[in-house]
Amino acid sequence: MSALEDLLRERIAERGPITVATYVQTCLAHPSLGYYMKQDPFGVAGDFTTAPEISQMFGELLGLWVIAGWQAAGSPVPLSLIELGPGRGTLMADALRAAGNVEAFKPAAHAHLVETSPALRAVQETRLVGCGFALSWHDKLEAALSESEGSVFILANEFLDALPIHQFVLTDEGWRERLVGLDEAGALAFTVAREPPPAFAENILRNRSTDVGAIAEFCPAVVGTVQQCAAAIAARGGLALFVDYGYARSAVGDTLQAVKEHAYVSPLESPGDADLTAHVDFEAVARAGLVGGTVPFGPLEQGEFLARIGIGQRADLLAASNPDHESAIKEALDRLTNEARMGSLFKVMALAPSGIVPPGFEASEAFEL
């Protein structure tokens, strides 16, 4: 049993079951035993591989997407490039290298990295310090927004899925919050609250389902994060791009999942030793973007979005200058864009100030409720 499982069992035995959100938050972000706080989980030797770790093309194209949006806005100076949950810093390194080819961008831009994990922040520093851009790190988005200047361009890949969700189950007595408690043998087990859900969930659960046993999910942290991004963009100019696996319209279903060493495990099996995520509800992201004062676009499927912003051409160029790596480049292109791989499950949503259409999107793709 992991040290964190011990601690959770003790806490639940003393004080009663905890919400799924508290469970996820503790597993990922406990100061010493949380999943992201103690290790670098990426790559073949780790638990999972993300798009920027698959190919430099991903970060480069997102960097050029920022450039296209910045130039379309008249190249305002200064500007802040904010990344939420930068992992190993690979996306930011590739984006800055590509964007840095535009001469006026480097002196105008300041990169801000929002990262809670000291272990990953150290990896990011090794990767980025000396890249020629002004760099700052922050624990929270609020700090990045208040300590940054000018228009804000925000990138977040596989960040929203790591924020803690609440789950609710439709029982014979109505909706009840899903909790993590202990079974008769003292092991971690799902249970439900006796009392009705907290007030914040009422609107979300209304008309969601009539099927007893249905599970609905809600992530207040996603809503809060997106609203803050949107409010900053509406006030200061800029764009945001959220890339994640998820669904386009709010639906019912249990999407909480745990991954350890590239395989799915039960979410209650290895607290603190497995990555815990949930699929992102892009309708909730869009609503938060609208409340914050921006226009949301998409979601587009990742394969379609990357094709529109030029991944095919980039792959051809890269292969032409690295003929020995041609098959690896083609394999990475396929992995990122093929519908049967990451191309369809992963989705892309952008936020823009009113009247602006973000690069890669059509005006007709503004999100409609």
Q: Which residues bind ligand SAM (CB under 6 A)?
A: 36, 50, 52-53, 85-87, 91, 114-117, 120, 157-159, 162
Count other C-beta atoms under 10 Å from residue 249's C-beta: 10
To ligand SAM, the closest distance from the beta carbon of 25 in angstroms equals 8
To ligand SAM, the closest distance from the beta carbon of 52 in angstroms equals 5
Cβ-based nearer residue to ligand SAM, 41 or 238:
41
Integer-rounded Cα Rg, in Å, for the chain is 21
Task: Quickly list DSSP for 95-120.
Answer: HHHHHTTSTTHHHHEEEEEE---HHH
Cβ-based nearer residue to ligand SAM, 53 or 283:
53
Count other C-beta atoms under 10 Å from residue 36's C-beta: 22
Cα–Cα distance, 6 to 273 (Å, whole number) = 13
* Structure tokens that stand for 298 in this block: 């998409």
* Structure tokens that stand for 320 in this block: 């032409």
Give the Cα-Cα-Cα angle 139, 2, 124 (nearest 5 degrees): 30
Cβ-based burial of 136 (10 A; exposed 0-12, middle 13-18, buried ≥19): middle
To ligand SAM, the closest distance from the beta carbon of 357 in angstroms equals 25
Cβ-based nearer residue to ligand SAM, 122 or 320:
122
Do the beta carbons of residue 25 and residue 198 sit within 8 Å?
A: no
Cβ-based nearer residue to ligand SAM, 117 or 167:
117
Cβ-based nearer residue to ligand SAM, 115 or 301:
115
Cβ-based nearer residue to ligand SAM, 157 or 294:
157
Cα–Cα distance, 20 to 180 (Å, whole number) = 6
Query: What dihedral do alpha carbons 20, 272, 248, 253 form, nearest 10°?
Result: -40
Give the Cα-Cα-Cα angle 346, 59, 143 (nearest 5 degrees): 90
To ligand SAM, the closest distance from the beta carbon of 114 in angstroms equals 5
To ligand SAM, the closest distance from the beta carbon of 157 in angstroms equals 4
To ligand SAM, the closest distance from the beta carbon of 24 in angstroms equals 10
Cβ-based nearer residue to ligand SAM, 160 or 352:
160
Do the beta carbons of residue 70 and residue 345 sit within 8 Å?
A: no
Cβ-based nearer residue to ligand SAM, 91 or 300:
91
To ligand SAM, the closest distance from the beta carbon of 176 in angstroms equals 27
Task: Quickly list DSSP for 275-293.
Answer: EEE--EEHHHHHHHHHHTT
To ligand SAM, the closest distance from the beta carbon of 37 in angstroms equals 8
Which residue sits closest to ligand SAM, CB atoms considered?
A: 85
